[in-house]
Amino acid sequence: VCDEHSDYKDAKLLYRFRKDDGTFPLSKDVKVFVRGQSLYEKLVSTEESILKVREENSVKYQRTFLGCEMVDWLVQEGEAENRKEAVELGRALLEHGIIQHVSNRHHFFDSDILYQFWTNFRRRRRLTELLNENSSRSLSESPDSPFCLRKLNPDPGNTSFLSVQTNKEIKIVSAVRRSSITSLSGNSNPYFSPTPMLVFPPVAECNPKSVLKRPVTNEELLSPGAPYVKKTLTIVGDAVGWGFVVRGGRPCHIQAVDPGGPAAAAGMKVCQFVFSVNGMYVLHLDYQTISSLIMTGPRTLVMEVMEAIE
């Protein structure tokens, strides 16, 4: 209660719930996560729950529900005042990765489209990760960010890398490398000092100018006969990161790729558009949200991208 102990201890110390004293950092992401968890727990504990195993196109899905069923339930349980408010809540849950359309083709609608809960609420670290994302370091300043180009030619005496844009302009920017506990705790890795600095230049400063020749909308990408081909990339992160930069929003695009990194080896190219991340449809999200999805996901990253047909 006096904020003198950051860890919970088995001792004669007084604690209280932070929501009671108004110090709990309820950002929008945290609020949606907590709301989604509350709804999920309520649904799974209900007899005759709308969450069921269902089949679509010969594929079985767990924890599924129809969009109209969820809207009915939200209104019936007083979680939403009307169907419009229920749809808005469903859309917020989808946009934050709590629920998703089973084949990632639709946003949330009040219809017989099949959705499922996507977030594993039993994974206890998820809320902690959300809280840490909104703490003293912003997402783009994190040394764990996979969206910083790696060193092209690692050299203990040189802490910068080359960033090459489409106009061939070469810029020198500070390198931000993915860290680990072992590398930060000693001198086993020459790229880290025993007392690493926690303040880094925002990633956005590395490539402020978009590599896109012109803005592209989701409608243009998804229109029938559009000159784009979808590709699936499986990227296995290494000790440094995934080796690419994503920017923009609705849709996001690949801003830069490290020629010697895992993303380049998997076939990622500049100007590709990010369609899905680990099975989640993301064309409607901004790059900060996509960054969060990747950093809180597995080391092996599966991305669907849309590439212009030349």
Range in 5-9, 74-78, 98-102 with the lowest mean pLDDT: 5-9
Question: When comparing pLDDT for 134 and 198, which is higher?
Answer: 134
The segment(s) of the chain belonging to CATH 1.10.10.10 are 28-135
Q: Is the pLDDT of residue 174 over 80?
A: no
Distance, CA of 253 to CA of 233 (rounded, Å): 14
Is this prediction's pTM over 0.75? no
Whether the per-residue pLDDT at 200 is higher than 60: the answer is: no
Q: What are phi and psi of 203, to 5 degrees?
A: -60, -35
- pLDDT value at residue 128: 64
Distance CA 142, CA 138 (A): 7
**C-alpha distances in Å from residue 177, one per residue of 32, 139, 188, 267, 292:** 31, 14, 15, 22, 17
Q: What is the pLDDT of residue 205?
A: 40
**Banded model confidence at residue 178, pLDDT cuts 50, 70, 90:** very low
What single-letter DSSP state applies at residue 2? -
CATH 2.30.42.10 domain position(s) in the chain: 218-308
**Superfamily the domain 218-308 falls into:** PDZ domain (2.30.42.10)
In tens, the pLDDT along 70-80 reads: 999 999 999 99
Which class is domain 28-135? Answer: mainly alpha
